[in-house]
Chain A
């Protein structure tokens, strides 16, 4: 039982780190441009492919990771320059739709390239050794990728926070998010700041891509869709546009997600005879083992409720229109 609980907590923390890496990128760009960058999930997917192909090519891990981060950053910058800059400041929905189109381009482009490389659509990810296997602490065994994911996520996020609050570029991002014209008037180079935000968010997404692919063991061109939606939910939980909020929201989401899975299996893991048959029956009715498979539905229901009742997040940006 306690082993089970600890494992679930580690799962939650590890998922939280992954969502946080993604959600910070979304929040960063939303804050400055009011753009919900749905292509962010596909940027993460591209990172996984860059890593996979570099490793397939037999490059040493550090080089492969360098290519992964560098390549993803370049793609993030290219997207901003080519697709988003021409419609910057345009209607929010136009920007959102453009990001969908960008996502389609990345997905289909990846599909095209894997086909040209005569690879199947779904390929096994060559998970690096450091992320393979399990860590055993007493009776608890935890997949290494979860431990490394949580740890590296935390370190990177702390670094990002320091960057955003201690450097002039970081502060410029805040300023641009607070008030774009005023930021221009003090002489902040908006194009540079936006590019920096895209570069940073792409770099974060690339780490998320590596972790995601190592956890899943397999990659396909469509893998970015669910993570970006989850990251969006995380950002909403934290108050959209707020970066610390996105981090808190991501870990909250990580825990929220394990609840259906954990409760769904609760009756199965109780030792036989621990509770009376009536309670066991009750538990199985309220928390059927299938509850876990409804996880995404439950999480999205939560998103909708959040948008309605706590549009400013659990910490304190806004969604609800005051309609009569």
Chain B
């Protein structure tokens, strides 16, 4: 029964989502298409932070740094040879020869490969950084990861030969479309969901709830934290690659504190530790930000949007500190009206704790 139900549910959802995307694609409504892509990229970023911080309680302020690494890596890797020699003449030899701009039929496999490589590069960096930083406690880890963000920014600004420094990096091929963005977003959601309800996920939540108790029943603290940090780095870099090939020109200033704070707001509003909450929080904050942006544009009161979003954020922290969902998940069956008489083996509100 349950073995049959899950694929059917997932299948229907995926079909519905694909149908919506296809309609959106056909409609030609550029604004909504752009918003949908943004939504997908933010979902990936928020799920990344959800794993790294929501699951483990280790607050990372550095994941936008991994996004930057992903964006620059993928953008450089996919530059066609001709553009590259002209645009980045001082690129080191080994990098100058790579051009992942190949396509098989309509499929830009080079872009896919570059995105994966971007993710891997971020993972390696995260592994090194995380092995050191995940030993810190509480808010000190937050500040140390913020330090990492600053370091990434300084390096991007100064590695002129590779990143063009403070100048805008443009000429990025616009590969990202609705399908790529949402394809990865679905993967991000799926990965986060699977991790949450796995043994590893339970270990993450257990050490978040109580470090000492977790350790006394034999759950290591460093390992789940590090894995979550690295997985989050991978997804952040994927989001970075998608962003780079969506916006097509950017500079190091984008990948800094404002964006970090935006992603945190989405996560906290949705509920740290909830996969469906992350999606809801992203949608809500994105919609709010978009509405406020329009109000700002109309009234010319620039800054008002930022103030109201921050006030909203503080209100959430004071009045609903665990966000909309807490660590719970949306019950899809109920939402979709499939209410089986008895449910078995379904992941429940919170991953059950071992021991």
Contact = CB atoms under 8 A, between A and B. Distances in A.
A296 interface: yes
Interface string B115-138: 000000000000000001111111
B142 A107 contact: no
10 contacts: A87-B321, A91-B321, A101-B311, A109-B303, A111-B303, A294-B154, A297-B150, A300-B148, A304-B132, A304-B148
Contacts of B222: 323-324
Contacts of B150: 229, 296-297, 300
A320 B135 CA distance: 6
B192 to A, nearest CB: 20
B234 interface: no
Given A107-B306, A110-B303, 19 more contacts: A87-B318, A94-B317, A98-B314, A101-B313, A102-B310, A104-B306, A105-B311, A107-B303, A109-B303, A113-B303, A115-B301, A116-B301, A229-B150, A297-B150, A303-B147, A308-B135, A319-B137, A321-B135, A321-B211
B339 to A, nearest CB: 36
Contacts of B134: 323
B197 to A, nearest CB: 24
A290 B304 CA distance: 39
A41 to B, nearest CB: 11
B306 A307 contact: no
Interface in A137-166: none
Contact of B143 (A36, A97, A110, A321): A36
Interface string A90-108: 1111111110111011011
A108 B136 contact: no
A91 B317 CA distance: 10
Contact of B220 (A87, A108, A113, A324): A324
Binding site of A, secondary structure by majority: helix, strand, loop or mixed?
helix
A110 to B, nearest CB: 8
Contacts of B132: 304, 308
A232 B211 contact: no
B307 interface: yes
Interface string A77-88: 000000100110
Given A115-B303, A297-B150, A87 B317 contact: yes
B157 interface: yes
Contacts of B157: 293
Nearest to B219: A324
A225 interface: yes
Interface residues of A, number: 47
Given A115-B303, A324-B221, A36 B310 contact: no
B261 interface: yes
Given A300-B150, A324-B221, A108 B306 contact: yes
The 9 closest A-B pairs by CB, nearest first: A108-B306, A112-B303, A321-B137, A111-B303, A319-B140, A300-B147, A108-B303, A297-B154, A104-B310
B348 to A, nearest CB: 24
A292 to B, nearest CB: 10
Contact of B144 (A111, A290, A304): A304
B63 to A, nearest CB: 15
Nearest to A111: B303
B138 A92 contact: yes
B151 interface: yes
B158 interface: yes
Query: Could you say which of A98, A290, A304, A308 has the most chain B C-beta atoms within 10 Å of its C-beta?
Result: A304
B264 interface: yes
Given A36-B143, A293-B157, A112 B136 contact: no
Contacts of A229: 146-147, 150
B122 to A, nearest CB: 18
Contacts of B261: 100-101, 104
A134 interface: no
Contacts of A101: 261, 310-311, 313-314, 317
B215 interface: yes
Interface string A295-324: 011001101100110010000000111011
B268 A97 contact: yes
Nearest to A305: B132
A17 to B, nearest CB: 22
A105 to B, nearest CB: 5
B29 interface: no
B309 interface: yes
Interface in A51-96: 83, 86-87, 90-96
A87 B320 CA distance: 11
Nearest to A293: B158
A190 to B, nearest CB: 19
Contact of B140 (A104, A105, A307, A323): A307
Contacts of A294: 154-155, 158
B59 interface: yes
A94 B310 contact: no
B184 interface: no
Interface string B295-329: 00000111111110111011001100100000000
Contacts of A111: 302-303, 306
A279 to B, nearest CB: 26
Nearest to A90: B321
A320 B142 contact: no
Contacts of B135: 308, 320-321, 323
Contacts of B139: 36, 92-93, 95-96
A98 B268 CA distance: 11
Contact of B264 (A87, A92, A97, A304): A97
Nearest to A296: B154
A307 B314 contact: no
Contacts of B250: none
B87 interface: no
Contacts of A94: 317, 321
A133 B225 CA distance: 53
A298 B222 CA distance: 26
